[in-house]
């Protein structure tokens, strides 16, 4: 009989780093309190944190950022942004000093109980949550004005709920402070909100980690236009993958194939169908323009065809 990974007191790692053994949060003294915590696992995400953190800190009861060996001042920038907005009491910074396997073949070759495993890393991060609900959030995901309101409303509603929430997001490819490209030609709505219990822990999947869920669970999907995912065209968007070329051959990488297509097309000076070029007014950063003005005013719903042959139709 297989023992569920979330049962028992916690997990030890193969390398014997006892300071980084995992104690499941529901076993911590006092248990879990009502509310929600956003958990960000990041490496070298400093440039986007001034956009990511303020609305997230306002929308959630707490934000936990785990820095995995950044060399661009990510941790310091996160602390600065939280303090600048008067929200330091809602923010916690942790550090995870081990190199984590990249998604794909590198991840597949690492034992699930190693400190270098994506699954172990994620379980360690979420073991620091002290609320009954959690948001799996990325260091490049920015809430729109509507998204902040929706997430804030949900943060108190899901505090006692057994429900999984799917959160849509659109890739925003940033060329400069005033120019970006928004991909509305991809339907990307993943599971980002989870209760904190032994039923929802991370385990190993072929290309990446996956969060376990019960066979029968309430699941809710939020509408489009609530979140964008920042992709800096002058950066290395696929550094956390072993081999980005594998996107073309894996049936499980449809989303990454679309991102690879858009990324390379924009670098070649082409704008794929389903991608919208947006320029912000003078003095307004394009990320703020898209999240506070452009997306909130865009007609609903966004209607797109198949992501591999996307055509954009905006209808009132």
Q: Is residue 190 part of a domain?
A: yes
Q: Is residue 172 part of a domain?
A: yes
Q: What is the pLDDT of residues 286-304, one digit of tens each?
A: 999 999 999 999 988 776 5
Contacts of 36 (CB under 8 A, 6+ apart): 60, 61, 62, 131, 132, 133, 134, 135, 154, 155, 158, 159, 193
pLDDT at residue 7, as a whole number: 60
Neighbours of 1 (CB within 10 A): 2
Q: Is residue 3 part of a domain?
A: no
Q: How confident is residue 315, by pLDDT bands cut at 50, 70 and 90?
A: very low
Cα gap 102→154, rounded to integer Å: 32
- Res 243 pLDDT > 90: no
Q: What is the pLDDT of residues 16-42, one digit of tens each?
A: 999 999 999 999 888 899 999 999 999
Cβ atoms of residues 213 and 199 within 8 Å: yes
Q: Is residue 5 part of a domain?
A: no
The string of DSSP letters for 129-143 reads --EEEEEEE-TTEEE
Cα gap 209→80, rounded to integer Å: 30
Cβ atoms of residues 73 and 170 within 8 Å: no
76-104 as b/e: b if 16+ CB within 10 A = ebbbbbbeebebeebbbeeebebebbbbb
- Res 152 pLDDT > 50: yes
Residue 6 carries which DSSP code? T
What percentage of the chain reaches a pLDDT higher than 90? 66
Cα gap 136→169, rounded to integer Å: 13
Residue 302 sits in a domain whose CATH number is 3.90.550
Q: Output the pTM of the full model.
A: 0.90
Contacts of 45 (CB under 8 A, 6+ apart): 52, 70, 74, 139, 140
Domain count of the chain? 1
Helix (H, G, I), strand (E, B) or coil at 221: strand
Cα gap 48→26, rounded to integer Å: 32
Which of these, 230, 254, 170, lies nearest to 48 by C-alpha position?
230
Average pLDDT over residues 42-55: 97
Q: Which domain holds residue 266?
A: 10-214+221-311
- Res 309 pLDDT > 60: no
Cβ atoms of residues 174 and 231 within 8 Å: yes
Q: Is residue 4 part of a domain?
A: no
Q: Is residue 1 part of a domain?
A: no
- Res 232 pLDDT > 70: yes
Q: Is residue 99 part of a domain?
A: yes
Q: Is residue 69 part of a domain?
A: yes
Average pLDDT of the residues of the chain: 88
């Amino acid at each position: 009989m297989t023992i569920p990974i979330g049962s028992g007191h916690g997990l030890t790692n193969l390398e014997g780093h006892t300071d980084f053994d995992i104690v499941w949060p529901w076993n911590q003294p006092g248990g879990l309190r009502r509310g929600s915590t956003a958990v960000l696992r990041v490496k070298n995400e400093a440039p986007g944190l001034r956009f990511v953190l303020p609305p997230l800190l306002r929308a959630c009861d707490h934000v936990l950022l785990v820095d995995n060996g950044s060399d661009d001042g990510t941790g310091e920038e996160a602390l600065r942004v939280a303090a600048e907005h008067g929200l330091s009491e809602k923010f916690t910074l942790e550090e995870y000093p081990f190199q984590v396997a990249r998604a794909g073949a590198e991840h597949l070759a690492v034992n699930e109980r190693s400190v270098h495993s994506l699954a172990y890393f994620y379980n360690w991060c979420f073991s620091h949550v002290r609320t009954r609900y959690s948001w799996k959030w990325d260091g490049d995901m920015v809430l729109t004005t509507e998204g902040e309101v929706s997430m804030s409303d949900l943060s108190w509603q899901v505090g006692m709920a057994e429900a999984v929430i799917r959160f849509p997001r659109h890739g925003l490819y940033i060329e400069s402070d005033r120019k970006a490209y928004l991909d509305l030609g991809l339907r990307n709505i993943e599971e980002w909100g989870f209760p904190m219990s032994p039923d929802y822990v991370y385990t190993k999947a072929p290309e990446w980690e996956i969060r376990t869920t019960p066979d029968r669970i309430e699941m809710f999907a939020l509408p489009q236009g609530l979140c964008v995912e920042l992709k800096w065209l002058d950066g290395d968007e696929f550094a956390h993958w072993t081999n980005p070329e594998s996107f073309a051959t894996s049936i499980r990488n449809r989303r990454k194939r679309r991102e690879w297509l858009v990324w390379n097309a924009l670098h070649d000076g082409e704008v794929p169908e389903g991608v919208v070029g947006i320029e912000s007014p003078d003095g307004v950063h394009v990320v703020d323009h898209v999240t506070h003005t452009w997306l909130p005013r865009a007609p609903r719903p966004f209607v797109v065809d198949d992501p591999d042959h996307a055509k954009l139709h905006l209808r009132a």
